[in-house]
Amino acid sequence: MAYQDWLPTAWKRPADEATPFGALRKQIDSMFEEFDGNLFDRENAFKLRSNLSETDSEIRVTAELPGLTDKDVDVSVSGDQITIKGEKKSEKEEKKEEKGREFHRVERMSGSFHRSMRLPFEIDADKVNAEVKNGVLTVTIPKPAENVTKTKKIEVKHSS
C-alpha cells in the first residue's frame, strides 16, 4: 500500500498538474521549498553535538558523528584547547557518479563542522586517545598528575 492510498482524496496530488488544484499545489510546494531553503542553510547545517565528562584521572569528550569514519574527522590539541573538525558529505555529492539520479528531498544534514573546547590544564597531545565507533567519536584526555584529584572518604560520626 502506497502512503497516498490512506490519505483523504482532497490531500492527494492530482496526477495531472494542469488541473487547477494540481497547479495550485505545485505553487504552494514551491513556495514552502523556497522558504525552507532560505530558513536553513542545509549545506552548512551539520552541528557537532557532544558531551564532556570527567573522572578523577581524565576528561572524555564524546560526539555524535553518524555515518562518519576516522578518515572524516580531525582531532587536534594546542595548549589547553582541543579541536574537533571534519566534514559530512551530502548524499548528493556521494552519488554524483550515478547519472540520472534526481533528488526530490534532501533533509539529511551535511556540511563541515568545527568545535573547540578549552580545558583547565595544558593537554599532553602524546597521551590523548581518539576513536570512532558506531558513529560516536570518543576522545580521552588524561589529566596531568597535578590535576588528578585524590579522593578520600571521610567517616561521618554520629554525635548524641
Least confident range from 85-89, 90-94, 135-139, 151-155: namely 90-94
- Residue 16 vs residue 96, higher pLDDT: 16
Show me where the domains of the chain are located. 3-39, 46-97+109-145
Contact (Cβ atoms closer than 8 angstroms) between residue 143 and residue 58: yes
pLDDT at position 98 is 55
Cβ within 8 Å of residue 12, ≥6 positions away: 4
54-78 pLDDT tens trace: 998 999 999 988 888 889 899 999 9
CATH of 46-97+109-145, one of 1.10.150.50, 3.40.50.620, 3.40.50.300, 2.60.40.790: 2.60.40.790
Q: How far apart are CA 78 and CA 125, in angstroms?
A: 8
Dihedral angle of Cα 6, 7, 10, 15, to the nearest 10 degrees? -80
According to DSSP H, which parts of 8-141 are helical? 20-39, 91-94
- Residue 122 vs residue 100, higher pLDDT: 122
Phi and psi dihedrals of 75, rounded to 5? -115, 130
